[in-house]
Chain A
Amino acid sequence: MNFKLIINIALHLLRARLKQTVVAGVGVTFGIAMFITLVSFMNGLNDLLDGLMLNRTPHVRLYNEIKPSENQPISYAENYKNNTNFIASVKPKDRGKAIYNCKSIIHDLKQDKRIVDVAPKITAPVFFNSGTIEISGVINGIDVLAEEKLFKISEYIIEGQIPDLLENNSIIIGKGLANKMLLKKGDIIKVTTSKGNLASLKIVGISQVGISEIDDVMSYTSLVTAQKLLGEPTNYITDIQVKAFDITTAPALAKEFALKYDLDAIDYQTTNSQFETGSSVRSIISYAVGIVLLIVAGFGIYNILNMMIFEKMDSIAILKATGFSGNDVKWIFISLSMVIGIAGGILGLVFGYVFSSIIDVVPFNTAALPTIKTYPVNYNPMFYVIGITFALVTTFIAGLFPALKASRIDPVEIIRGK
């Protein structure tokens, strides 16, 4: 088959019906542009909301939970070994929150190929003293550099610098806490631990996560400062935070590590299940709307081609009389449709990109998200690939049926009809 000639004929037929062609093309352009814009924006939002939790939450967290011993003393007694024992009034056993052997566990985890990195952490409940009042809160002793690498905490520091935490006896406190206690950067804050230790720490920064329950109680300090504050040795760690390369492996990793290191482990999915559902619903909605738009555009093409075939009966009869087969005629109309699809689709991608860029610069200020200044947009090239593929598939199908109809036109009937 001579495709050059077939495309040439298709283009001439299109040019003779320029207005309808443009209308059909605009339909596709609009559909694709909307699809790209919607999907980019929705995914931008998803990323933002995911990031809100994902970036702040370890994929796997290893810790010691306060719980009753799994093996009560009676199960060690030979006499009652084969009995079913009921024990009333079991109390939890405090094995201490410290993770024993944490150095070697961390070393071991760092060797693991599935893991990006590991950040040790100490969490401890404390009281912040301001004059006569005491406000309860939490102090997080963090490995400043590892924490920054894994969880980008600097994004939530609205005053001060993360590296300042490396100084001895420095602390970054939540915005809510600072507001309540009328403290600002550079002030000194008094902290009392649950064991009664008292320390004065210098505020080197203010953090704001955007969730007031966190901002009202949270504070950060270095591991060393926290250990000193709590009166614990330098190997005292309460949490090991793990970030995996592939977040979907987190539940499996959690199980594996819990067993291997005899610790409690919780994975990201368990902690944040409600976020996942929200994200997938938003994705589904945006894809559904985009696809509906394209199907509407497809029907537009279908109608216009049908109309064109009706008008071009004579031309089709002449083509067939002069030696074009039904198959040639079919390809003429399919390429006609594909030309509309390709031109409309590519323009749609361009407009989709332009619209996304416009959304990208629209100001979006919310107290909850201090680092976000404009609406979020995800420019994933995959959306553009999906968009153009779908445009081509839709226009091909929309063109196929009219093309088959055209290929079956009997030239004798048309010529006789004159």
Chain B
Amino acid sequence: MSNIVLETKGLTKYFYDPIQFQVLKSIDMSINHGEFVSIVGKSGCGKSTLLYLLSTMDTDYEGEIYMHEELVTGKSDKELAQIRNEKIGFVFQFHYLLSEYNVLKNVMLPGMKLNKLSEEEIEHNAMQHLKTLEMQDQALKMPNQLSGGQKQRVAIARALINNPLIIMGDEPTGNLDKKNSDIVFDIFKHLTQDHNQTILVVTHDNDFAARTQRTITMEDGRIIT
């Protein structure tokens, strides 16, 4: 199997409301296994839009997306949900935890959905991830009892629970102070180095981008480097 985890061919997207507007202009890119890649660019150049396409949540585009050389484009809602569940871990700018569940259950939920391991095993893995993120003491708290940085770490643990092919983040540190974004960066760094985890992060933070292995710069719907 080739080393390419994620690849796009001629990815193009339009918005039609209020006027027709081409956000993404024939984007070709590929991400290798174990890479830590950041996407930067001016506000409004289409970074988030690109990430939503890659995450399979937005299916309204032209061009093709491959994951592990398998064509993702055109699959059914159910199959895409399965792919998101199994192969993609998503970390948003805002924490996006389920307020009805405690931290541990939030982390476990995608694992329960995947339904490949027993509940005990999933719980064990979730605790393991929380431990590496130094969150094991908070496992039984509700999300509204956590700080912003802690919530983001829970979201990362949740993204990791099914051992995804790739973790995607849309400004995962955008809402955090310097100290907390350093913590999140270190976690990502540690994941790529020690666990060979592939990570793709959109960021505004040039400092953050500079420290990743590769930076993709976008302008006006195109990749320029």
- Those of A131-180 within 8 Å (CB) of chain B: none
Interface status of A382 (Cβ within 8 A of chain B)? no
Interface pair A415/B58, CB less than 8 Å apart: no
Interface status of B110 (Cβ within 8 A of chain A)? yes
CB contact between B113 and one of A317, A324, A410 (< 8 Å): that residue: A324
Q: What is the number of residues of chain B that contact chain A, defined by CB distance less than 8 Å?
A: 31
Interface status of B33 (Cβ within 8 A of chain A)? no
Measured CB to CB, the nearest residue on chain A to B55 is: A321
- C-alpha spacing A412/B54, complex, angstroms: 12
Some 8 contacts from A to B, beta carbons below 8 A apart, are A321-B92, A322-B84, A323-B86, A323-B110, A325-B77, A326-B77, A327-B78, A416-B52
Interface pair A2/B96, CB less than 8 Å apart: no
Measured CB to CB, the nearest residue on chain B to A312 is: B100
Encode contact with B along A310-339: 1 for CB under 8 Å, 0 otherwise. Answer: 000011011111111111100000000000
On chain A, the residues within 8 Å of B80 by CB distance are: 325
* Known A2-B115, A412-B52, A415-B92; contact A323-B101, beta-carbon cutoff 8 A: no
On chain A, the residues within 8 Å of B52 by CB distance are: 412, 415-416
- C-alpha spacing A328/B98, complex, angstroms: 16
| Cβ of B197 to closest chain A Cβ, rounded Å | 17
Interface status of B225 (Cβ within 8 A of chain A)? no
- Those of B27-82 within 8 Å (CB) of chain A: 48, 52, 55, 57-58, 77-78, 80-82
- C-alpha spacing A12/B90, complex, angstroms: 23
- Those of A287-319 within 8 Å (CB) of chain B: 314-315, 317-319
Interface status of B26 (Cβ within 8 A of chain A)? no
Interface pair B77/A321, CB less than 8 Å apart: no
Interface status of A210 (Cβ within 8 A of chain B)? no
Interface status of A190 (Cβ within 8 A of chain B)? no
On chain A, the residues within 8 Å of B81 by CB distance are: 320, 323-326, 328
* Known A323-B113, A411-B57, A412-B52; contact A315-B77, beta-carbon cutoff 8 A: no
List B residues at the A interface (Cβ < 8 Å). Answer: 48, 52, 55, 57-58, 77-78, 80-82, 84-86, 90, 92-94, 96-101, 109-110, 112-115, 158, 170
- C-alpha spacing A285/B98, complex, angstroms: 47
Interface pair B93/A418, CB less than 8 Å apart: yes
- C-alpha spacing A411/B51, complex, angstroms: 13
CB contact between A315 and one of B55, B85, B98, B110 (< 8 Å): that residue: B98
Interface status of A15 (Cβ within 8 A of chain B)? yes
On chain B, the residues within 8 Å of A281 by CB distance are: none
Interface status of A16 (Cβ within 8 A of chain B)? yes
| Cβ of B13 to closest chain A Cβ, rounded Å | 11
Interface status of A244 (Cβ within 8 A of chain B)? no
Interface status of A105 (Cβ within 8 A of chain B)? no
- C-alpha spacing A315/B109, complex, angstroms: 12
Give the one of A2, A12, A318, A320 with max B CB within 10 A: A318
- C-alpha spacing A319/B106, complex, angstroms: 10
Interface pair A318/B98, CB less than 8 Å apart: yes
Interface pair B113/A16, CB less than 8 Å apart: no
On chain A, the residues within 8 Å of B90 by CB distance are: 321-322
On chain A, the residues within 8 Å of B99 by CB distance are: 16, 315
| Cβ of A411 to closest chain B Cβ, rounded Å | 5
| Cβ of A101 to closest chain B Cβ, rounded Å | 80
* Known A322-B84, A323-B84, A325-B78; contact A317-B48, beta-carbon cutoff 8 A: no
- C-alpha spacing A319/B100, complex, angstroms: 12
- C-alpha spacing A390/B120, complex, angstroms: 40
Interface status of A66 (Cβ within 8 A of chain B)? no
On chain B, the residues within 8 Å of A327 by CB distance are: 77-78
Interface pair A5/B113, CB less than 8 Å apart: yes
Measured CB to CB, the nearest residue on chain A to B115 is: A2
On chain B, the residues within 8 Å of A314 by CB distance are: 96
| Cβ of B56 to closest chain A Cβ, rounded Å | 10
On chain B, the residues within 8 Å of A415 by CB distance are: 52, 57, 92, 96, 170
